[in-house]
Structure 1
């Protein structure tokens, strides 16, 4: 394991060095027609763009120079490029440059948007779509782990959607990604999805980065997709929802779940208790979900409830907690023995059929932007 981490660190260092020599300042208006803003955060923003020469549509990520170093920008681009060969990780164009105020790189465009936008409050998304998402995210996380990396900020906003039924989704945004084994001394990512070991981290002690951090976030995401709610605000005993979950998990009988978990079928509760094990050393791999695909994940069918205009996609479970929406908080924060491939092949086509016509992990040379 240590050698894998060492090797990927070496590869990333070489990639950063290579890209730094090719990084040039350009006039973005000269080469691109810029469209609407697709998203923004503490790093900067993502904008729809058309290459004037080829007509290729893409998403340009503008990273504010005043808030991010060139080194971190190149490292993010290198990690994205390294992982983009996977069908469930966003494709990365070989287009990167700097402007007067920004560092920029291009990625493929997801036509539907992000997974967060599909969640109906208190409802979630259809069960079959949840299962499709779970399998694809698990697939991508296994690949990321094999490369010796940890995403560190897995959340619905960082999962892009290519069709509304979620046959085809991709993980994006590797700005917080770390090599496994790295020691961090401050929290990173979005608090709703942070693992308890990160929430309890001290600056002096730090935390050794491990793939189980991504698995925890994965478990929370599945819960949100199933219910349209977040199980807690923060994985800390100061949070009532989380405290009740810990008490339940520590009860070996597991026959009296907190109210927030009572509509989850008993068998699927076991899946969650693996993915969301408090002790990270006992946490299941992401591939745990593959054992549960054929069973029911919801006790009640999804109704046809429509989101009210302006209503936030996910709301809190506990009435004792703040009425502040998850969306507002997020806007201010910044190997299993089961083969996934064989499992996917054995599943029914109605559940896992994908439209892979939109898949593109690398863009052909003729589609690259000529900035020379």
Structure 2
């Protein structure tokens, strides 16, 4: 867990820098986070080919599927908050070894998110230009079986179960990255004050003093 936390701090530093310049990476995923050296924990974020200024967004459909934010899936306006969604997905995968939301297609991708995070708030659904793809005329989620015949029901899989973790701070950190509403999603700056990160910084300072 300590290594994952060190990776996270470096990712957050990268996002803080991007936010200062109002840049959205648009394709954060494990393949775009590289180790600087095989035996060290320093990382660097690569592949800015899809990146854009928040004020000059070019594409409406971005991000690799497993790490794609719900606002992009639903066809809503997006912001720098989509990168924090991807961070939450990356952390979960680093911890478990598996993608948190392994959708076979965009419909199942959305179902994977709802299975853990429940149904999005009504005001978000109303803003979605693609809501008819994911919701019926009554506003209920369209639930279709995947290739294995499995139907993912909203809110039936707690995040703690998906993460296979009992670390409440870690679970809460990931959950705050994965809020449906981008306005409520944790920012990189907020993340540095979260207990899961802050306790590491506090511990490092104590060790340094001793």
- Aligned to 1:145, the other structure's residue is in SS state helix
Report the CA distance between 1:179 and its aligned residue.
0.3
Looking at structure 2, the residues matched to 350 and 159 of structure 1 have their Cα atoms a distance apart, in angstroms, of 29
State the TM-score, normalizing by the size of structure 1: 0.40
Report the CA distance between 1:149 and its aligned residue.
0.7
- Structure with greater strand share of residues: 1
Looking at structure 1, the residues matched to 206 and 41 of structure 2 have their Cα atoms a distance apart, in angstroms, of 10
The aligned residue for residue 241 of structure 1 is 112
CA 210–294 in structure 1, closer or farther in 2 if over 3 Å, else same:
closer
| Residue in structure 2 matching 1:257, options 146, 158, 161 | 158
Looking at structure 2, the residues matched to 350 and 161 of structure 1 have their Cα atoms a distance apart, in angstroms, of 27
C-alpha contact (below 8 Å) 1:271/1:288 kept by paired residues = no
Q: CA RMSD in A?
A: 3.1
> What pairs up with 1:121-200 in 2 under 5 angstroms?
127-164=1-38, 166-200=40-74
Deviations 1:349-370 (A, max 9, x none): 7999xxxxxxxxxxxxxxxxxx
CA 175–264 in structure 1, closer or farther in 2 if over 3 Å, else same:
farther
- Aligned to 1:230, the other structure's residue is in SS state coil
The aligned residue for residue 278 of structure 1 is 180
Looking at structure 1, the residues matched to 42 and 184 of structure 2 have their Cα atoms a distance apart, in angstroms, of 30
- Aligned to 1:231, the other structure's residue is in SS state coil
- Report which of the two structures shows the higher radius of gyration computed on alpha carbons: 1
> What pairs up with 1:315-334 in 2 under 5 angstroms?
none
Looking at structure 2, the residues matched to 348 and 165 of structure 1 have their Cα atoms a distance apart, in angstroms, of 21
Report the CA distance between 1:172 and its aligned residue.
1.2
Looking at structure 2, the residues matched to 237 and 141 of structure 1 have their Cα atoms a distance apart, in angstroms, of 29
Deviations 1:308-333 (A, max 9, x none): xxxxxxxxxxxxxxxxxxxxxxxxxx
State the TM-score, normalizing by the size of structure 2: 0.68
C-alpha contact (below 8 Å) 1:195/1:217 kept by paired residues = yes
- Structure with greater helix share of residues: 2
- Aligned to 2:183, the other structure's residue is in SS state helix
> What pairs up with 1:329-368 in 2 under 5 angstroms?
347-348=203-204
| Residue in structure 2 matching 1:221, options 90, 96, 100 | 90
CA 242–273 in structure 1, closer or farther in 2 if over 3 Å, else same:
same
Structure 2: unaligned runs, 5 residues or longer: 122-154
Deviations 1:28-76 (A, max 9, x none): xxxxxxxxxxxxxxxxxxxxxxxxxxxxxxxxxxxxxxxxxxxxxxxxx
- Aligned to 2:114, the other structure's residue is in SS state helix
Report the CA distance between 1:289 and its aligned residue.
3.7
Looking at structure 2, the residues matched to 210 and 166 of structure 1 have their Cα atoms a distance apart, in angstroms, of 32
